[in-house]
Amino acid sequence: MHREQTGAAGDETPVAPLAGFTVGVTAARRADELGALLRRRGAEVMHAPALRIVPLADDSELLAATKQLIDSAPDVVVATTAIGFRGWVEAADGWGLGDALLDRLREVRLLARGPKVRGAIRAAGLTEEWYPASESMAEVLERLLEEGVEGHRIAVQLHGEPLPGFVESLRAGGAEVVGVPVYRWMPPEDIGPVDRLLDATVARSLDAVTFTSAPAAASLLDRAERRGMREELLDALRHDVLPACVGPVTALPLEAHDIPTSQPERFRLGPLVQLLTAELPGRVRPLPVAGRRLEIRGHAVVVDGELRTVPPAGMALLRALARRPGWVVARSELLRTLPGAGRDEHAVETAMARLRAALGSPKLIQTVVKRGYRLALDPSVDTKYGGG
């Protein structure tokens, strides 16, 4: 568990665990809840819903599937999402078929993908036969195939994206599969926030990106492909920006591209935020500099337990110095880290002056005449860091 720090010199104000970090949120549903949980722990949040949910309450496919199942009972019904199951029942009510649908569902084996779906089933006055704690459709499929599906009629409430592997495996096992399309995932009407999130990820301006559904992860990858920046995105997510997924199903599109993901043990928003509060501060390497303890966190710095906001140019310089703490970094090299600075090394001096002011202690960064600048790493630990 990450322990919150307290400020120096008797300052009792704790540094929030995610203070200084910026987290991207791709969720369409419950994004406000997730954002509030992150901000409560000090994070800045960039919200960019990668998808939007389009309900199909008036869709002829859903009406036809509902009538078909009422007229001819399936052996099994698989409910995949809570919002989808509720939407199905509400749509049936709107058509005057609600009671008939619920009566039919009471007669069949009702399987849920996970606890949230189970809650929706029970709220409708029904009882599920079984659900996997993993919330994995693969586990649902495994159970059905082990029991044998040949000659069975299985209805699957689709959750916005095709389930070709799931449906095809059931059909290969001899089952008749009836799809129940309740809603679809569509690209967002305003693609601007997604593009800004992609740009920020590639620029490493984000420290983490959260995913709460597999379609959102796939949509973000697809948008990067359309913009010709997929490889840049993959590189950022593989090495610098933490991809945090609510569970293994959500992670599948990313892991298919060899992106390692972090997932909480319990597949909920609260544990997802707890994961970030542990992992992001855990990635920070504290540096003993000029008798102070320095932590570089995203867009801010913690000096002896006190959070200090640093301008972007200053953060660029500080990161360049921290890559080789204690070693001199030439002005020309620092200049290359400043966006839009051109060839004027005076820009380095200006940004350095602002950085020192933001840090509150000019002694943290030493000027080496005619050579450049260095972090004043304490001599007693200088040998731990190597050099370049």
Residue 235 has pLDDT above 90, yes or no: yes
At 129, give phi and psi (nearest 5°): -85, -35
At 293, give phi and psi (nearest 5°): -105, 120
Q: What confidence score (pLDDT) does residue 107 get? A: 95
Residue 165 has pLDDT above 90, yes or no: no
User: Mean pLDDT over residues 351-363, rounded?
Assistant: 89
Q: What confidence score (pLDDT) does residue 383 get? A: 39
In this predicted model, which residue has the larger pLDDT, 258 or 337? 258
Query: What are the structural domains of the chain?
Result: 17-51+189-282 (3.40.50.10090), 54-185 (3.40.50.10090), 287-384 (1.10.10.10)
Q: Give the range among 55-69, 193-207, 218-232 with minimum mean pLDDT.
A: 55-69
Q: How confident is the model at residue 262 (pLDDT cuts 50, 70, 90)?
A: very high
Residue 5 has pLDDT above 50, yes or no: no
Q: How far, in Å, CA of 210 to CA of 194, rounded?
A: 13
Q: What confidence score (pLDDT) does residue 111 get? A: 97
Give yes or no for a contact between 273 and 41, defined as CB atoms under 8 angstroms apart: yes
Q: What is the pTM of this model?
A: 0.71
User: Mean pLDDT over residues 148-162, rounded?
Assistant: 85
Which of 13, 21, 15 is closest to 2 using CA atoms? 15
Q: How confident is the model at residue 385 (pLDDT cuts 50, 70, 90)?
A: very low
Residue 331 has pLDDT above 90, yes or no: no
Q: How far apart are the first and last CA of the chain?
A: 34
- The pLDDT > 90 percentage for the chain reads 53
Residue 347 has pLDDT above 50, yes or no: yes
Residue 100 has pLDDT above 70, yes or no: yes
Which of 55, 16, 57 is closest to 39 using CA atoms? 16
Q: Give the range among 33-42, 229-238, 322-331 with minimum mean pLDDT.
A: 322-331
Q: How confident is the model at residue 299 (pLDDT cuts 50, 70, 90)?
A: confident
The CA-CA-CA angle for residues 34, 18, 377, to 5°, reads 160
Q: How confident is the model at residue 29 (pLDDT cuts 50, 70, 90)?
A: confident
Q: Give the range among 15-19, 27-31, 348-352 with minimum mean pLDDT.
A: 27-31
Inter-CA distances, 186 with 45, 213, 245, Å: 23, 13, 20
Tell me what the pLDDT averaged over the chain comes to: 87
**181 beta partners:** 158
Q: What confidence score (pLDDT) does residue 340 get? A: 67
Q: What confidence score (pLDDT) does residue 31 get? A: 87
